[in-house]
Every structure is written in C-alpha cells, then in structure tokens.
C-alpha cells in the first residue's frame, strides 16, 4: 500500500473518530426561562424600579417586554398573550 493511500485512510479514520465522539457527547439543547422580572415584564410610572434591570431611560411611560426580537416594526411574530409565569386575578363579569 502506498503512502498516499495510508494517509488518506488515516485521515478518514481520524475524521470518523472525531465525528463519532461528537455524536456521543452531544445532548439536546434547551434554553432556560429568564429570571423574574424579565418574563412578563411590565412596568409603569409609580411602580418600584429595580436598578438591576438596567437604566430607566424613560420614566414617564409604561414599558413591557412584548417586543424583544430584531425585526423592527414588524410585529406579526410577537407574542402578546398572557405570561405563563405570572397569574393575574380574573375580573368577574358583573353585568346583568
């Protein structure tokens, strides 16, 4: 067997070994939920503001975390449903 064939066979064996080692160590990736106050975050003037949340750049209006993607003013993929981590009291319907 000539030298080139041996080098090619060795390279294939090394690549296959590295590939199989990578498959053996791979796990399923998952993202942890962000800590409170960033999940379902909603702040309005008059509520306490934690400086750990970052700078309070506009204290005159309400802020929320509904739009956190990078698509600018395109909001068709944004989620405006209830947060699964905060429960709000239901207001009973008192109409006759």
pLDDT tens figures, 60-90: 877 776 555 566 666 666 656 665 555 555 5
The rounded distance, in Å, linking the Cα atoms of 90 and 60 is 28
Q: Whole-prediction pTM value?
A: 0.28
With a cut of 60, say whether residue 2 has pLDDT above it. yes
Please name which of 85, 66, 88 lies closest in space to residue 76, comparing C-alpha atoms: 66
């Amino acid at each position: 067997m000539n030298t080139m064939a041996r080098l090619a066979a060795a390279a294939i064996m090394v690549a296959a070994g590295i590939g199989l080692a990578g498959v053996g160590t791979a796990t399923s990736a998952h993202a942890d939920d962000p800590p409170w106050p960033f999940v379902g975050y909603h702040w309005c003037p008059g509520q306490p503001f934690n400086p750990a949340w970052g700078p309070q750049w506009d204290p005159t209006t309400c802020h929320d975390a509904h739009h956190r993607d990078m698509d600018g003013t395109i909001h068709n993929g944004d989620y405006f449903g209830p947060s699964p981590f905060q429960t709000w009291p239901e207001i009973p319907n008192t109409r006759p």
